[in-house]
């Protein structure tokens, strides 16, 4: 008897260095037991030391990529990474609605590792209008502060995650990687349907090899959802996977800058 692939579509930019973006997404989805398809929104000249050039893919071609895969493949989840302009955001939003996709995991990429904003105010407004279409959004602390326009106190992560979720009518995984005042890594999950707040703890790993962790985590969650797990199970499993991937990649060397995680931990 034939069986069906558990498939995930990732919509994001390409990282020529292979640490983040589409490349990290495909590795993470594969490592978590699903089949990865992709729609590329931009290519970058990038390595472990930085991003040196970005070439946006024409919006008409992004839409054609989306239609091509959505017409043919039944996806158990959709992962969305960086959408670099309001026009791209609106095109992706419109096209996904046409196909009634399920289990959108949206990583609201707005700030570079350097701290620079990646989206202008118009694009941020478009992105905010898209968030309610997602089943889960995965902001880090700086991105979360943009979403609710306030500083987030490390003592009130649960309240912040809930405020974001209620504002945008979606579940939220508030990532704790920017909070370095603890030996524990705490990610905060707010489940919109049940109004639960769940704190997910993992050991904090000291390493510079964290390039692409946000892409890797959101893709792992999408893969777990495609396997028909609950949202809580999918997030907990993905956080555990990422922690092990960081642990096993912490002492490896790739290039001269910030290296990747070990996407296929043994």
In the chain, which residue ranges form alpha helices assigned H by DSSP? 21-31, 59-72, 86-98, 121-130, 141-148, 157-168, 213-226, 231-249
> Of 91, 170, 213, 216, which is the active-site residue?
213
151 is catalytic: no
210 is catalytic: yes
Among the listed residues 140, 135, 248, 244, the one whose alpha carbon sits nearest the alpha carbon of residue 187? 140
239 is catalytic: no
Query: Residue by residue, what is the 3-state secondary structure of 177-224?
Result: CCCCCCCEEEEEEEECCCCEEEEEEEECCCCCCCCCHHHHHHHHHHHH
Residue 249, helix vs strand vs coil: helix
212 is catalytic: yes
> Of 13, 76, 81, 212, which is the active-site residue?
212
CB-based contacts of 201, cutoff 8 Å, min separation 6: 184, 185, 186
* Gap between the Cα atoms of 31 and 45, Å rounded: 25
Residue 10, helix vs strand vs coil: strand
> Of 91, 215, 249, 259, which is the active-site residue?
215
* Gap between the Cα atoms of 59 and 122, Å rounded: 17
> Of 10, 48, 91, 210, which is the active-site residue?
210
Token pair in block for residue 201: 């703890």
> Of 175, 176, 188, 259, which is the active-site residue?
175
CA 4 vs CA 29, 34, 74: distances in Å: 16, 11, 10
175 is catalytic: yes
> Of 21, 165, 214, 259, which is the active-site residue?
214
91 is catalytic: no
Catalytic residue list: 175, 210, 212-215
């Amino acid at each position: 008897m034939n069986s069906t692939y558990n498939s995930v579509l990732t919509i994001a930019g390409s990282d020529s260095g292979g640490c983040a973006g589409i490349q990290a997404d495909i590795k993470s989805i594969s490592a978590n037991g699903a089949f990865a398809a992709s729609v590329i929104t931009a290519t970058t000249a990038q390595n472990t030391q930085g991003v040196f050039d970005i070439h946006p893919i024409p919006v008409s071609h992004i839409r054609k990529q989306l239609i091509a895969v959505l017409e043919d493949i039944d996806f158990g989840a959709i992962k969305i990474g960086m959408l670099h302009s309001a026009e791209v955001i609106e095109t992706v939003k419109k096209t996904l609605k046409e196909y009634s996709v399920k289990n959108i995991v949206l990583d609201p990429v707005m700030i570079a590792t350097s701290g620079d904003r990646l989206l202008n105010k118009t694009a941020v407004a478009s992105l905010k209008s898209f968030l309610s279409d997602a089943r889960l959004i995965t902001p880090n602390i700086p991105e979360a502060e943009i979403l609710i326009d306030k500083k987030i106190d490390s003592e009130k992560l649960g309240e912040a995650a809930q405020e974001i979720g209620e504002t945008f009518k979606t579940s939220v995984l508030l990532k704790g990687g920017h909070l370095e005042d603890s030996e524990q890594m705490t990610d905060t999950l707010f489940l919109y349907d049940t109004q639960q707040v769940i704190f997910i703890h993992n050991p904090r790993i000291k390493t510079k090899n964290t390039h692409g962790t946000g892409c890797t985590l959101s893709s792992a969650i999408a893969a777990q959802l495609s396997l028909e797990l609950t949202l809580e199970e999918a997030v907990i499993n993905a956080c555990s996977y990422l922690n092990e991937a960081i642990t096993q990649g912490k002492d490896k060397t790739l290039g001269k800058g910030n290296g990747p995680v070990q996407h296929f931990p043994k």
